[in-house]
Structure formats: C-alpha cells, structure tokens
A = this chain, B = another copy of it.
Amino acid sequence: MRAAGGPFKISLFADLHFGENAWTDWGPLQDFNSVKVMSTVLDHETPDFVIYLGDVITANNMAVANASLYWDQAISPTRVRGIPWASIFGNHDDAPFEWPLDWFSDSGIPQLFCPAVNSSYSDSPKRVKISMPGEEECDFRGTHRTELMKKEIDYNVLSHSKNGPKDLWPSISNYVLQVSSSHDRQMAVAYMYFLDSGGGSYPEVISSAQAEWFRHKAEEINPDSRVPEIVFWHIPSKAYKKVAPRFGVHKPCVGSINKESVAAQEAEMGIMKILVKRTSVKAVFVGHNHGLDWCCPYQNLWLCFARHTGYGGYGNWPRGARILEIMEQPFSLKSWIRMEDGSVHSEVILSS
C-alpha cells in the first residue's frame, strides 16, 4: 500500500478484547466503548492503514462456536471508513472458553445464546439461535486461527492480512507487506513484517522456524538492507525485559505508563538475534501488556509497546492508540500516542 502523497500513517489497535461476557450487560458495553475509541482515533488521525495487533477478541470468554462474529465487530470501525488494515494474532484470539467456577454453584449457568455457526457471514439473514446446552452449536472450544483469518480475508477486500506459510503452522499470521513510494509504486519505502507470537491454543513463542522464515525472506527481498524494516507481533520477547525502565519512563525510553512487569514470551528461539543483525530493522511493536506504552532502544533498533485500545481486557488505564508515521524522502519513522480524549503524547523518532 502507499500514501496519497504525504507521509504514510499507521494506527495500531492493540488488545481490543471484543466479545467478553456476552451474557452480562458490561461485556457488550465494553465493545461499544472500544468502537468509540477506535472511531475517535481514526477521525483525528485519518491514518492510511490500521494494524490490529492481536487480542482482537477474548475467545476464552466466549461461549460461542465461531468467534468470527466478534472479530468482525472489532474491524468494523476501520472497514466503514474505507481504511485498509492488517491483523495478527494474540494469545486470546483462539483460546477455548474458560467456564466461570461460579456457574457451578447455586446460581447456575446463565441462559446462553450461541450464535449459529457462520451466522455473521452467511448469505441467509443474520440470526441468533438459542441452542440447548450440549448441542454442537455451543462447542466453546475456540475458533481456529486459520478459520478466523479465512473469514477476515474472504469477506473483506480492505484486509491485507495473510494466513502465512503452511509450514509455520500452528503459527498463522506470518507475512510481509510493502509500503510503496507515492511516486513509484514499485519502490519500497519500508517493509512491515508481521509475526504470530503464539499463545491461546499453543505456546507463547516465536518459533525457530518463524525466525528462519523472517531471515530468509528479508535476505531475499531486501538483500542489501537498503529498505527499512518494521516488525509487529503481539507478545513482547524476552529482550523487552532487558530494556524495561524502572519506576516511571525515563530517557532513553519514551512513553507515559510503566505500570507492570513485561509479560514476555515463554522462550527465545532466535528471532531477536536475527533482528539485531540487520541494520535495516528499525523497530518492533507489541501489545499484550495493557499497562505499558513505552519505546526503548535495544542495540540498533527500538522495542515499543502499543497502547491498550480496547475496553475489553484487564486494566483501566486511559485508552488510546500508538500512531506511526513513515516519511519517504529522507526516510524517517516517527511515533506518538493518540488518546481517546483526543490528546497526544510520547512523540518519539524511531529512525535515528
């Protein structure tokens, strides 16, 4: 994709956590509020592109057979504005339902409405079917990553998401997109790499095979490291722990909240070693930690958190979205955070 002349602007929507507690009032209300956050950010920034940075939905809180319904709700504010997007998976997107212990006490199981499989996309009119417990419609085992992605791609011409190479399974959202010059659409201004950092149905990790796929792909399409590369995944790697500031955010880090420990991937299988060897890699962006929004330098690149965008998920820190701005000539990568109330903070240059 390419910008219409000026800089190329991207909005990162992280940890939306749609679909929580559909059997109560507060769950659907959270989603309504998350739509408002996204709408505010999109209307203030009018970005050229949106990246859904994982935990789009909270599948482990969904008593449904197919979670694509909620995934679709989460991408709708971007779609209705005609903005193209790409998405990657977080650890909550394909997790199986976790039954609340309280449902086994005297209070019992609330009346559950299980949307019919594929109902949000079927050609027949939308319907909500009341399923008897135990019937197939209520299987609650999470929706496969492949299924979630297939639905997004098949039904949305604006989606740039990809299922990724089959041999990287069970990780799915592994792909690269080119940001092209506004003068010459063949000329790459930047490559955006998307990686699936796991979790949910399998361990929270970027595999050795994914790292090798990145290395091979980057050497193939950008052999002389001339074009800057930016990387997106959901769960911070262990390197984030090394650079995390203590007690507030201070130089050289830039950000506004530092309220948690970094919840890193389970293991490091090689991706960081490969990234730091490439001078063209400028920054990595992750979500996952709702109480962190900093960027810190790490060797030749920056490690950044996005900003918790959704009202779903833990934490009540004010919601917002990290914005990236790519300038072509000369290349620069700038970032800031746009808040739900319209304010802006934490501007940082990531290309120097």
The answer, among B99, B104, B170, B266, for a CB contact under 8 Å with A133, is B170
**A 77-98 to B, binary, CB cutoff 8 A, 1 in contact else 0:** 0000000000000000000110
A207 in contact with B267 given A140-B201, A166-B132, A201-B141 (CB within 8 Å): no
> Size band of the A side of the interface?
20 to 34
Is there an interface contact between A133 and B96, defined as CB atoms closer than 8 Å?
no
Closest CB-CB distance, A91 to chain B, in whole Å?
13
Beta-carbon contacts under 8 Å, A90-116 to B: 96-97, 99, 101, 104-106, 108
**A 10-34 to B, binary, CB cutoff 8 A, 1 in contact else 0:** 0000000000000000000000000
Does A269 make an interface contact (CB < 8 A)? Answer: yes
* Total copies of this chain within the assembly: 2
Is there an interface contact between B203 and A101, defined as CB atoms closer than 8 Å?
yes
The answer, among B105, B139, B146, for a CB contact under 8 Å with A208, is B105
Closest CB-CB distance, A191 to chain B, in whole Å?
24
Closest CB-CB distance, A269 to chain B, in whole Å?
6
Is there an interface contact between B207 and A104, defined as CB atoms closer than 8 Å?
yes
The answer, among B133, B202, B205, B208, for a CB contact under 8 Å with A106, is B208
Does A167 make an interface contact (CB < 8 A)? Answer: yes
Closest CB-CB distance, A296 to chain B, in whole Å?
26
Does A278 make an interface contact (CB < 8 A)? Answer: no
Cβ–Cβ < 8 Å partners of A198 in chain B: 104
Q: 18 interchain pairs (CB within 8 A)? A: A96-B96, A96-B142, A99-B201, A99-B202, A101-B266, A101-B267, A104-B207, A104-B208, A105-B208, A106-B208, A108-B209, A132-B166, A133-B169, A133-B170, A134-B166, A134-B169, A134-B170, A140-B201
| Given A99-B202, A133-B167, A134-B146, 15 further pairs, Cβ under 8 A | A96-B96, A97-B201, A99-B201, A99-B203, A104-B208, A104-B209, A104-B269, A105-B207, A106-B269, A108-B209, A132-B166, A133-B169, A134-B166, A139-B144, A141-B201
